[in-house]
Structure 1
Amino acid sequence: MSNKDHAHAHWPEGYGRVVLDSVDSTMAEAARRANDITKPTWIMARHQTAARGRRGRSWIVPKGNLSATLIFNPGATPAEAAKRSFLAANALYQALAIYVPAEKLSLKWPNDVLLAGGKVAGILLESSGQGPFVDWLAIGIGVNLREVPQGVTDAAFAPTSLMKAGGWDVDAEDFLATLADAYATQEDKLEHFGFKRIRDDWLANAARLGEVITASTGREDITGIFDSIDNDGNLVLITGTGPRTIAAADVFF
């Protein structure tokens, strides 16, 4: 299937774009450019030499997949800035749903997108600032568009790709335009309706909501019913000893 009808997706007004042939990582490049940007800017690289995921894990990026980082100043506290992971997840869901049936997609707390049960995309947030507000926020996004990364041994869910799951063959730069437009819409929703709307949209597409899952914090494993995420984006599990609120963990089910 072709994506020619979407080959020139609308680029959102007010957002910049930088496309590089090669870089160590788009997150590192974003940090280097943070003091010079004048508007929210997407940085995409066709090749990364030192890509990374959450908790220092490596992120393997075969040719044809998307590696991009959005760098901007959200004018927010660290806690409020962290909620942007849910905006990014919602935007990824909406963007991917153009190229593959939406019923194959789900959102895995805290920052993965699943496609037909495999991991198709991941989100990584980094910020800087010593005061009450962050100086800048970087949202790194990797999407397996064409190729399934090989040699991934530390993932809770085996990687998949858009094409492997029967989706369209979409060029990374074209997909970035679709994603950037979807993310801009999420920022508009946050501004006009608050985080509750973002949270509700995320929960509507959450993987395993209402089912038994296990959250591994590194200190303990907590098993319970996935009840919700709270207004701070924390995972809420109903356990045998009552509700547990979990700020950061790897989720298994």
Structure 2
Amino acid sequence: MNDWFPELAQHEIERQAGFALVDVFDELSSTSDHALANLTEYSQRLPALVVARKQTKGRGRGSRSWFAGEGALTFTAMLGRKDIPIEPHNWPRCSLIAGVAMCQTLEALSGSDAFQLKWPNDVYLSGRKVCGILVEKRDAAEPVLCVGIGVNVNNSLEHAPADVQQKAIALTDVTTQQHFLPEILLGFLARFRELCRQNVDSLADLLPYWRNHCLLTGRPVETSQADQVIAGQCCGIDETGALLVQTSAGQKQIVSGEIIRW
């Protein structure tokens, strides 16, 4: 039995969140890589969850890495068509929904108002990154949505190198408490499912919360999509989830791509 993720917690997540399988590992290179490598098997028991106490080669967007030691919460949720009310062709919006769901979960747990969202789904605390999210759609017998998340929770960065402390933070660094990881996971899953139900047709219901928590609004940003770089002032997002950037040539909608400077 894992003291950090007891068997009872696994059963409660299966029961309360409606997961058919919660697979807990002591260490994985990446929960998302493991989920995708075994997608055929997992797709027979959806929704399924892969959780790791330690992740050594986590993946972020593009070629970025997300390394998480003991005390972090790292998991990948695999969801099928019947688990999400949003049609598969609109699953990209689940990326933003996941960011809001985790932001709300951490906000409620900590009581802090210092959480913000960086498009499309990173969660920041006191101006530093606390959570990274990678959402991927794959096809097995049916489409499967893989939501991979890493959250710095009990893995304090207080004694990390100065350059790391400037960019990243853990929840415990603010609350000065040790948190029960399954509680955060269950809270996220419940909020994610509810937000998916509320935003089936568009992200309109998400906009007020996002506007109040947008890290980039009012800041100069540069975005890269394919070979095109767009620079201007961030104006938040619209109901489709696109980033709005005011440029010298007018307002642009950034549907996908990467923020390379802000």
Q: Shared fold by TM > 0.5?
A: yes
8 Å CA contact 1:30, 1:69 repeated in 2 = yes
Number of residue pairs aligned between Structure 1 and Structure 2: 241
Measure, in 1, the Cα distance between the counterparts of 2:88 and 2:221: 27
Measure, in 2, the Cα distance between the counterparts of 1:223 and 1:249: 12
8 Å CA contact 2:48, 2:79 repeated in 1 = yes
**1:34 is aligned to 2:6:** no
TM-score where L is the length of structure 1: 0.82
Question: What are the residue-to-residue correspondences of 1:127-146 with 2, within 5 Å?
Answer: 127-129=137-139, 135-146=143-154
**1:72 is aligned to 2:79:** yes
8 Å CA contact 1:79, 1:232 repeated in 2 = no
Residue of structure 1 in register with 2:135 after alignment: 125
**Identity among equivalent pairs (%):** 24
Which secondary structure does the structure 2 equivalent of 1:55 belong to? Answer: coil
**1:19 is aligned to 2:24:** yes
Give 1:123 shift: 0.5
Residue of structure 1 in register with 2:205 after alignment: 197
Residue of structure 1 in register with 2:232 after alignment: 224
Cα gap change, 1:152 to 1:25, in 2 (>3 Å): farther
1:39-91 deviation per Cα after TM superposition (whole angstroms, max 9, x unaligned): 32221111223211111212111110011111112476665111101111111
Q: Which moved more, 1:220-229 or 1:52-61?
A: 220-229
Which secondary structure does the structure 2 equivalent of 1:181 belong to? Answer: helix
**1:94 is aligned to 2:104:** yes
Cα gap change, 1:71 to 1:151, in 2 (>3 Å): farther
Give 1:212 shift: 2.6
Cα gap change, 1:251 to 1:71, in 2 (>3 Å): same
Q: Which moved more, 1:61-70 or 1:164-173?
A: 164-173
**1:158 is aligned to 2:163:** no
Residue of structure 1 in register with 2:181 after alignment: 172
Letter of the 1:34 counterpart: L
Give 1:167 shift: 5.4
Select the structure that is richer in helix: 2
Of 240, 244, 247 in structure 1, the residue corresponding to residue 252 of structure 2 is: 244
Give 1:31 shift: 1.4
Letter of the 2:183 counterpart: D
Residue of structure 2 in register with 1:3 after alignment: none
8 Å CA contact 1:43, 1:69 repeated in 2 = yes
Question: What are the residue-to-residue correspondences of 1:45-60 with 2, within 5 Å?
Answer: 45-60=52-67
8 Å CA contact 1:14, 1:39 repeated in 2 = no
Measure, in 1, the Cα distance between the counterparts of 2:162 and 2:136: 23
Give 1:20 shift: 1.5
8 Å CA contact 2:79, 2:145 repeated in 1 = yes
Cα gap change, 1:130 to 1:242, in 2 (>3 Å): farther
Identify unmatched segments of 5+ residues in structure 1: 1-6
Of 216, 221, 240 in structure 2, the residue corresponding to residue 208 of structure 1 is: 216
Cα gap change, 1:59 to 1:13, in 2 (>3 Å): closer
Measure, in 2, the Cα distance between the counterparts of 1:87 and 1:33: 25
8 Å CA contact 1:19, 1:44 repeated in 2 = yes
TM-score where L is the length of structure 2: 0.79
Measure, in 1, the Cα distance between the counterparts of 2:168 and 2:125: 9
